A and B are shown apart, each in its own frame.
Chain A
Amino acid sequence: MATTSRLDRTRPAPAEAATARPRRGRRSSPTLNFWLFTSPFLIGLVIFVYVPIGWSVWLSFFEARFTVTPDKFTGFANYRQMLDNGNFTGALLTFTVFAALIVPTTWALSLGLALLVNRMRFMRAFFRSVFFLPTACSYVAASLIWKMSLFNGVRFGLANTVIGWFGVDNIAWLADPDPPWYWLVLVTARLWLQSGFYMILFLAALQNIPQELYEAAEIDGAKRGWQTFRHITLPQLRATSTAVILLLLVAAYQAFDEFFNLLSKTTWGRPPLVELYYMALGQNQDYGAGSAGAVMLTLLICVVTLFQGRLMGFGRGEESR
């Protein structure tokens, strides 16, 4: 094995490998080894990531109902159909509202928790664990607790019990889109689930801020509290904040689990993925239109990610901070 591979591969290899490293005799060529290590992953990546993407783009230009090998080319008809379709554009609007609600609140809550935990001297690990614990919980389990117990529309839901003490009538949290109380349910569920995770990111970043900065500020007469937070902590957390906002945005784009489970039978509050799910895998099995929607969503995510990356200077060179 070793000898044959050496015979085969010595030709391309030296050009590159001989430049830097000392040679040892009993070692097959780097090129062969490179493929030995990476080919299982790369083959899988091509089959299960690249092929679906390509197939999706291809399907989106065909009329593909109940079939994945269509023959009727329809150009951009699927795209036009999706954009004219009120459900899909409505889903994009739903996502926008959701992102506008969940991104700032999670950012603020996780940063707040991190600041609190970071200042603790006793029981710090305990409280960190408490806030982090919901990360272990699945969106399905949380939806179940929220829907069946916390925000149950009848009297025995905890939320309705509590507002009942103040003489407020029961609220149908999920079953009635007007007023849209369902946003409160959706946002609190996700806040509870994900804040602990981002708190850990902020905690790690807080511990990387040099203490000297605070000492210097103190000498300059800055008051501990808002002033140091505004002028030292926040700027020092810029890179982490950017990363967190980006991660939150992409996560919100992909929201499916809690919407699907909390609002299963309703027609309101459907984000893009839920809409696509019903479109492609529902009664119609319209793979063409579903794929067109997926392509548009993907492009949208790419644009937003790149745009935000540019805007907030995230990416190259930022990691060193």
Chain B
Amino acid sequence: MTTTAPRTGRTVPPRSGRPRRVRHTGAMGSTGLYLAIGVAALLFLIPFYLLVRNALSTDPEITGENWKFFPTDIQWGNITEPFRDPTVDFGRSMVNSLVVGVLHTVGTLLVCSLAGYGLARIPYRHANKIFYGVLFTLMVPTAVTFVPSFVLVSSLGWVDSYRGLIIPGLFSGFTCFLFRQYFLGFPKELEEAARVDGLGYWGAYWRVVVPNSLNFFAALATITFINGWNSFLWPLVIGQDPGAWTVQVALSSYMTNQTVNYHLIFMATAISLLPLLLVFLFLQRWLVQGIAQTGIKG
């Protein structure tokens, strides 16, 4: 502090300009900023470009001598090729992933939101102890317990089934925790008004609490769907039979195949990304909001 005292004379000019709030530096700084960010953005987009480029090229253009950044002849016919491939039933794996992704999302939100609400808002003597029991599971990453989980699921006879793919993943302590934190901050007045109207906890939850929390539900639904669609280890363990593969397992199997059909593999990968890109384009607002709200607390 004391060392800054002699400098105060120099701070006068900036202060006179204070209403302008010179948060951003001048033209030079701004150019540098946009240059840096432009280069970074290009680097981030290159993998996507490579994916699309290779998906729409012939194999010689992908692996050939003179590798060109822009392919000369674009093969739109590649789009249907993964679905006609006899070695891997790609279409089936897409359907599996869609079913699993949607049911996983709906189920997780339903089960975890109810529990989160119960833990946050319904008075019960042992609610805190139960909540600590939920918190404990956050310390144990699900990925580490996949061996015993697999053992359990296989003894239930759920290997190679939608049940086995979906049900064990529904009980996310983290999602429950996020809902509880959210409902703790939900305005009590709204619920009390519902109570005055004669609704019980159940009625108030469905008619007042949920309709007023759609933003939060949308945010968590987006995150849950993305995670479900992209999950790999559990579907790999459970999907022993190719008919039960999700799209991630199918993609992985391409990489270990004997024959490598480059354009087909890249096209399949591009198609597998499509649903998520759609989710991303239309729901990004919820996603960003959800991460900003929940990630910090997590």
Sample (26) of A-B pairs whose CB atoms are under 8 Å apart: A12-B125, A26-B198, A30-B123, A33-B200, A38-B114, A44-B167, A51-B152, A68-B154, A121-B24, A132-B284, A132-B288, A134-B47, A136-B277, A138-B248, A141-B251, A141-B269, A200-B295, A203-B292, A218-B15, A221-B7, A221-B8, A240-B296, A253-B144, A276-B147, A287-B151, A294-B148
Q: List B residues 179-222 near A (Cβ within 8 Å).
A: 195-196, 198, 200-202, 205
The reply on A89 being an interface residue by CB < 8 A is: no
B37 and A127: CB pair below 8 A?
A: yes
Interchain CB contact (< 8 A) of B232 among A68, A239, A257, A290 = A257
B145 and A52: CB pair below 8 A?
A: yes
Which B residues fall within an 8 A CB radius of A?
1, 4, 7-8, 10-11, 14-15, 18, 21, 23-25, 33-34, 36-37, 40-41, 44-48, 50-51, 54, 62-65, 67, 111-112, 114-115, 117-119, 122-125, 127, 130, 133-134, 137, 139-152, 154-155, 167-168, 170-171, 173, 176, 195-196, 198, 200-202, 205, 226, 229-230, 232-233, 236-237, 248, 251-252, 254-256, 260, 262, 265-266, 269, 272-273, 276-277, 279-280, 284, 288, 291-292, 295-298
CA distance A237 to B294 in the complex (A): 16
- Taking the closest CB of chain B, its distance from the CB of A136, in whole angstroms, is 4
Interchain CB contact (< 8 A) of B54 among A149, A211, A257, A297 = A149
Interchain CB contact (< 8 A) of B139 among A28, A264, A290, A305 = A305
Interchain CB contact (< 8 A) of B122 among A34, A143, A219, A261 = A34
Query: Contact flags (1/0) for A205-221 with B, using CB distance below 8 Å?
Result: 10000010011001111
Interchain CB contact (< 8 A) of B296 among A44, A243, A301 = A243
Q: Which of B147, B202, B229 has the most CB of A within 10 A?
A: B147
- Taking the closest CB of chain A, its distance from the CB of B205, in whole angstroms, is 8
Q: List A residues 185-211 near B (Cβ within 8 Å).
A: 192, 196-197, 200-201, 203-205, 211
The reply on A7 being an interface residue by CB < 8 A is: no
The reply on A280 being an interface residue by CB < 8 A is: yes
- A38 and chain B: residue at smallest CB distance: B118
Does more than half of chain B's interface fall in helix, strand or loop, or is it mixed?
A: helix
CB-defined contacts of B272 to chain A, threshold 8 Å? 138, 141
CB-defined contacts of B296 to chain A, threshold 8 Å? 201, 204-205, 239-240, 243, 319
CB-defined contacts of B130 to chain A, threshold 8 Å? 38, 42
Stretch at the interface among A78-86, A90-98, A112-120: A112-120
Stretch at the interface among A99-107, A152-160, A176-184: A152-160
Which A residues fall within an 8 A CB radius of B?
2, 12, 15-17, 20-21, 24, 26-28, 30-31, 33-38, 40-42, 44-45, 47-53, 55-56, 59, 68, 113, 116-117, 119-121, 127-150, 154-156, 158, 161, 192, 196-197, 200-201, 203-205, 211, 214-215, 218-222, 224, 239-240, 243, 247, 250, 253-254, 256-257, 260-261, 264-265, 273, 276-277, 280-281, 287, 290-291, 294, 297-298, 301-302, 305, 319
A294 and B144: CB pair below 8 A?
A: yes
- The answer to whether residues A49 and B54 also contact, given A38-B114, A138-B229 and a CB cut-off of 8 A, is no
Interchain CB contact (< 8 A) of A301 among B21, B141, B173 = B141
Q: Which 4 A-B pairs have the closest CB atoms?
A: A37-B118, A41-B115, A52-B148, A204-B292
Interchain CB contact (< 8 A) of B62 among A34, A156, A222 = A156
A68 and B155: CB pair below 8 A?
A: yes
CB-defined contacts of B291 to chain A, threshold 8 Å? 197, 200-201, 204
CB-defined contacts of A116 to chain B, threshold 8 Å? 33, 36-37, 40
A21 and B123: CB pair below 8 A?
A: yes
- Taking the closest CB of chain A, its distance from the CB of B284, in whole angstroms, is 6
CB-defined contacts of A144 to chain B, threshold 8 Å? 251, 254-255, 265-266, 269
